[in-house]
Amino acid sequence: MTAVLRALEARAAAGDPIRVGLVGAGYAGRGFAARIIRRTPGIELVAVANRTIAEAERAYREAGVDAPGHVSSSADLDVAIRNHRPVITDDPTVLTDAAGVEAIVEATGEVEFGAGVAVRAIDAGKHLVLINAELDSCLGPLLKTRADAAGVVLTDMAGDQPAVIMDLMDEVRLLGFRPILAGNIKSLLDHRRTPETQKAFAEAHGQRPKMITSFADGTKIAAEMGVVANATGFGVAQRGMLGPRAERVEQAPERFDIQALLERPIVDYVLGAEPSFGVFVLGYEEDPLSRAYLKFYKMGEGPVYTFYRPYHLGPLETVQSVARAVLLNDAAAAPMGGPVTEVIAQAKRDLKTGETLDGIGGFTVYGMLENVGTARQEHLLPMGLADGAVLVRDVAEDVALTFDDVDVPADRLATQLWHEQAREFGLRTV
């Protein structure tokens, strides 16, 4: 990170900051905006796009910038950039198509809308940072292929669990350990949570009830660990992951079958452990001399050791992803090839013929992480395509939905891209 900071300081000194456009001014987007505007040298937030223009204004206002201008074209944005005048718009293509924008941060958390922004940004030659694990876990491998072809970087946000885990994985590997589990720490899991049960908590913390619901019902951790799976090649031990309980993350080696992990590394999580906002990696080391040193340094007896980071700071760290992408052509976390896992939709309650699914964080379905081979063999419905799908037959509570159970809108971009991704990587779709 020293190289990144020095490069940012050099661009600041030269009066040539990285020019970033933000799409999505919700909780995550506003946190990112405030960090850039208030704290970070060498990066300039030139525009914010949001469907509700008042929220775009709010992103600047909360960061101490009054009355940003309104623009409706990329040409007008380029003029504003030359004049160092921050602007807002309700049209994300104004940002993706502007010549003066180097990177797009997509922070909507929406699959269909985010897919449109991602494709347009990549086609326009912009580096793309996703504060959108929902999109990344569903369509990341295809978007990475397209980004590579366009010569730009696709990356998950630094500060979210996937990128923090990947940095920790790199550290473990550099130390000579063999990573056998990439892990998350979750404090609560209840598949029955809905926007109604989470409404008060969401309002108290300035977030959307559907987003908070996706945290509680398990969909979000499925998406996050799906991003990690696609970035590492690690699958899951079972549908939904194992998720054993623990009081401390250091107990993780006792909660998993180590022989099974040596044969097949996985992504997973521990439930209820401290530090509750952290991530961890289990590393294997059998060399006696190394283990003697590790024991001296209070890492335990081995041969499996727990490496963890006790925090992640979400959008406050995202600036690192922007800088790495633009300055180093490097991703904090990105798919290494085709899909390894898939977040599938399971019924949150008994569902009836004719009902319309309300997607991520809703009343009807929750997400579970499954190995992609099984998901395709069983023709399971990806969570990212569930929103707006109509039931053509009844599905019982906690049963995984298949494409045969629903009518998925075929004209949606995300649906078309998902099928393109399946063809690209030779996956079964029927």
pLDDT tens for 146-167 read 999 999 999 999 999 999 999 9
For residue 1, the model assigns a pLDDT of 62
C-alpha distance from residue 250 to each of 12, 167, 253 (Å): 42, 19, 7
Is 124's pLDDT higher than 80? yes
Torsion of CA 113, 115, 117, 121, to 10 degrees: 180
Average pLDDT over residues 370-387: 98
- What share of the chain in percent tops pLDDT 90? 93
Average pLDDT of the residues in 367-393: 98
Average pLDDT over residues 108-130: 98
pLDDT of 303 > 80? The answer is yes
pLDDT over 70 for what percent of the chain?
100
- Concatenating the DSSP letter of every residue in 336-360 gives -SS-SEEEEEEESS-B-TTPBP--T
Q: What is the pLDDT of residue 254?
A: 96
Q: What is the pLDDT of residue 24?
A: 97
Instruction: Please state, rounded to an integer, the average pLDDT across all residues of the chain.
Output: 96
Round to the nearest angstrom and report the end-to-end CA distance of the chain.
Answer: 45
How far are the Cα atoms of 271, 357, 383 from residue 375, in angstroms, in the given order?
25, 19, 11
pTM: 0.96
Residue 244 pLDDT > 90: yes
pLDDT at 348 over 70: yes
**In the block, which residue shows the tokens 């292929």?**
145
Q: Provide the 8-state DSSP code for 333.
A: S
Tell whether the model's pLDDT for residue 127 goes beyond 70. yes
User: What is the per-residue pLDDT for 430?
Assistant: 67
pLDDT tier at 381 (50, 70, 90 boundaries)?
Answer: very high
Q: How far apart are CA 43 and CA 45, in angstroms?
A: 7
Query: How many other CB atoms are found less than 10 A from the CB of residue 29?
Result: 27
Residue 429 and residue 376 in contact, taking contact as beta carbons nearer than 8 Å: yes
Judged against a pLDDT cut of 90, whether residue 429 lies above it is answered with no
Distance, in Å, from the CA atom of 376 to the CA atom of 372, rounded to the nearest integer, reads 6
State the pLDDT at residue 40: 86
Residue 5 has pLDDT above 70, yes or no: yes
Are the beta carbons of 312 and 319 closer than 8 angstroms? no
Rounded Cα–Cα distance for residues 153 and 146 (Å):
10
pLDDT of residue 134: 98
Give the confidence band of 317 by pLDDT, cuts at 50, 70, 90: very high
3-state secondary structure of 44: strand
Mean pLDDT of 241-260: 97
162: preceding bond cis by omega (within 30 degrees): no
Q: What is the pLDDT of residue 66?
A: 83
Report pLDDT for 37.
Answer: 83
